[in-house]
A = this chain, B = another copy of it.
Amino acid sequence: MCYSAGMENLATTFKALGDPVRLAILEFLKDPVQDCCSRSDGVCACDLEAFLGVSQPTVSHHMKILVQAGLIRAEKRGRWVYYSLNAEAFATVCRELEPFHEQPATV
């Protein structure tokens, strides 16, 4: 086999990014529409449900995938879970992509 564990990891991250519903979730987390119970430092899942137009378990499913990929953070406060972007993870993805659009090194 010619691909490493790091590659599997990166693929998992891209897989998490490869769904329009999850991209919409990330956009929402970036520019939250404060609705029922979201706060300045986080967005609750119930707001996402209304925004996305999918069922609550579906939201839960997508949030789990995004958390596992490390793209967002989840923090439980009382009965709510507040989600926020993990900026560092996005920066890492960009760094991984850099070699593919930099000027080729002169050997």
Contact = CB atoms under 8 A, between A and B. Distances in A.
Which DSSP category, helix, strand, loop or mixed, fits chain A's interface?
Answer: helix
Contacts of A23: 3, 7, 10-11, 14
A87 B99 contact: no
Q: How many monomers of this protein are in the complex? A: 2
A51 interface: yes
A19 B52 CA distance: 26
A89 B97 CA distance: 10
- For A1, A23, A89, which residue has the most chain B Cβ atoms within 10 angstroms? A23
A101 B84 CA distance: 12
Interface of A: 1-3, 7-8, 10-24, 26-28, 30, 51-53, 85, 87-91, 93-94, 97-102
8 smallest CB-CB distances across A and B, nearest first, come from A15-B18, A14-B18, A90-B101, A14-B17, A90-B100, A3-B24, A91-B101, A87-B101
